[in-house]
Amino acid sequence: TAGQVRSVLDAVTRAGVSLGRVALHFHDTYGQALANVLAGLQAGVSEFDSSAGGLGGCPYAKSATGNLATEDLVWLLTGLGIETGVDLDSLVQTSVWMASRLGRPSPSRVVTALGSGPRSAQPGRRASA
């Protein structure tokens, strides 16, 4: 949870580790990955792992879902005014393509919201049909 992220990061800084040296990696179990990223950002972390379409996961932890979807992370960061340099439309199209090749729906909330067409995908702007 976001509270646990803050607690861990507090312990890391108390141990003398600069948060500039920390990267965070979240699975989207319980839909908490973006909340955890926000907690990390608020604490001072600026590097986060993600994967297009949320691909990946942990075969050893049966309850763990896929990784944080890059398109969801980019949407959050852009909405916060943080430049990523990522073309979100292209990323969404790539994630849709990967999901179709794998024969499963994308777990990405941005892919679900925007679909596969060109959308001028930007937080704060309505997607055009």
Active site residues: 58
Taking the alpha carbons at both ends of the chain, their separation in whole angstroms is 35
b/e map of 26-64 (b: 16 or more CB within 10 Å)? bbbeeebbbbbbebbbebebeebebbbbbbbbeeeeeee
Rg (CA), the chain: 15
Spatial contact of 81 and 44, defined as CB atoms under 8 Å apart:
no
| Total count of residues recorded for the chain | 129
Tell me how many degrees the CA angle 97-108-95 measures, rounded to the nearest 5.
15
